[in-house]
Amino acid sequence: MENQRENKMGTAPMLKLILSMSLPAMFSMIVQALYNIVDSMFVAMVSEKALSAVSLAFPMQMLLISVAVGTGVGINSLVSRKLGEGDIKQANKAAAHGLFLGACSWVVFAILGFLISRPFFSIYTDDPELIQMGVDYLSCVFIFSFGALIEVNLEKTLQATGNMIQPMIFMLIGAITNIALDPCLIFGWWIFPRLGVLGAAVATVTGQILSMTYALIIVFFKKHQIKIRLKGFRPSLSTIKNIYAVGIPSIIMQSIGSVMLLFMNQILVSFSTAAVSVLGVYYKLQSFVFMPVFGLNQGVMPIMGYNYGARNKKRLLLALKYGCIIALCIMIVGTVIFWVFPYQLLSIFSPNEEMLKIGVPALRTISLCFIPATVSVVFTALFQAVGKGFRSLFISALRQLVIILPVAFAFSFISLDAVWYSFPIAEGGALITALLLYKNLLDNDFKKLDDKTIKT
């Protein structure tokens, strides 16, 4: 039985394997997206300023998640490759470093929470009420971020072994706790104090801490392929280097989204704070489209990493093929929903007339990027899985920085409606680049892999 679990990524029928490993992650990602929506929905009921505060804080919150997920991706890639090579000792060593690196990251963000929250919001506004709301929210999320930073590393470690059910439960605990506590802490329901925007942050970190606690219990007291031993643990520079060979490009890749939002907010605030709120709302809504694809990547990436380590080219490419097809179907559905129901989507956030006037054309225009984004997003998982993290970084930089910001800035001299076209233009450029990098991979690294007969 243990041997069968060990080798399922190298032997199981591919489509069934992808679905069994991806669906739990996709489901938990959808719940994650739901709690992001609920969070903003309740905050919007407090006031438009409250929604603006959370929208302005969102890029910094994304930076935190980028470090958590990027480090986790590095751990996932290293563990899955070592398992594919049959090197269990090094896989265990990489997993143990996950806890250490999560704790180190928390120290950094806790310090940032104390030092930068107020200066950050002062860049965008001189409204003291808006600044205080933002400071309350961001400082809480940063100072108590240990739950998210440690839980994500444990989640990615188990996913690398092919265990997708427990990581799904980790995420569900955090998301459901957040959804349940949001209205209680924001509006002071039942026995809870009325905390406003701060209540949304307290609900978020409480869910993360509970999720981390459950994850620690499962990892240390249940049986898994990976065994984390803290007794006698010493940080290994070579292991950290191997984790961050993929992890740092992934962190930068995801942090680029934060940088993009910071500068996009600077461009949009010159039109109105409502435009900033529309972009914040869009990012919450588009998570329902992109989060399932990211969940799909969580299932596909360890399969590709395992088969790359096992030198099985056919299974690796078959996983990529199915991943692209499934992701494309999700993106097509998302595009249709954004075009047909933009008014209804915006209405979730108690919009005023200005938000609706800006938001309806914005959602339709930006959603044109969904379909071309399919290949770019799935190929980032491929490059990470085979240890080519800087290729993923390059694609992400094109999508979210190199193309989009200059185009958005130039189009801002035309009109606000023109700015939104920077999103599909950037995705088109990234799509072409991803295909060229993939061809290079086929012509070089993949030629060294054995072609093996597979069961499809």
Number of domains present in the structure of the chain? 1
Domain that holds residue 416: 2-447
**Which pLDDT does position 361 carry in this prediction?**
95
Does 187 fall in a domain? Answer: yes
**Which pLDDT does position 126 carry in this prediction?**
83
**Which pLDDT does position 394 carry in this prediction?**
87
Lookup: tokens for 421:
């076209």
Does 375 fall in a domain? Answer: yes
Does 396 fall in a domain? Answer: yes
**Which pLDDT does position 344 carry in this prediction?**
93
**Which pLDDT does position 450 carry in this prediction?**
56
Structural contact between residues 395 and 441, judged by C-beta atoms closer than 8 angstroms: no
Among 216, 162, 155, 230, smallest CA distance to 2 is for: 162
Does 306 fall in a domain? Answer: yes
**Which pLDDT does position 7 carry in this prediction?**
55
CA dihedral sign, ordered 164, 441, 259, 266: negative
Does 225 fall in a domain? Answer: yes
Can you tell me whether residue 82 is helix, strand or coil? helix
Does 452 fall in a domain? Answer: no
Q: What per-residue string of b and e applies to 115-137 under the rule 16 or more CB within 10 Å gives b? A: eebeebbeebbeeeebbbbbbbb
**Which pLDDT does position 224 carry in this prediction?**
76
End-to-end CA distance of the chain: 22
Does 453 fall in a domain? Answer: no
Q: Tokens 């072994």 — which residue?
A: 161
**Which pLDDT does position 454 carry in this prediction?**
39
**Which pLDDT does position 143 carry in this prediction?**
95
Q: Tokens 């896989």 — which residue?
A: 91
Does 104 fall in a domain? Answer: yes
**Which pLDDT does position 436 carry in this prediction?**
93
Return the biggest CA–CA distance within the chain.
Answer: 66
**Which pLDDT does position 228 carry in this prediction?**
82
pLDDT tens, residue order, the chain (456 aa): 344 345 577 778 888 889 888 888 788 778 777 777 777 788 888 887 888 888 888 888 888 988 998 899 888 888 888 887 777 888 888 888 888 999 999 999 999 999 999 998 888 888 889 899 999 999 999 999 999 999 999 998 888 887 778 888 888 898 889 888 999 999 998 888 899 899 999 999 999 999 999 999 998 888 777 788 877 788 888 889 888 888 887 788 778 878 888 899 889 988 987 898 899 889 889 888 988 898 898 889 888 888 887 888 888 899 999 999 999 999 999 999 999 999 999 988 878 888 899 999 999 999 999 999 998 889 988 988 887 878 888 888 888 889 999 999 999 999 999 999 999 999 999 999 999 999 988 888 777 775 544 343
**Which pLDDT does position 140 carry in this prediction?**
95
**Which pLDDT does position 211 carry in this prediction?**
94
**Phi then psi dihedrals of residue 223, to 5 deg:** -85, 130
Can you tell me whether residue 312 is helix, strand or coil? strand
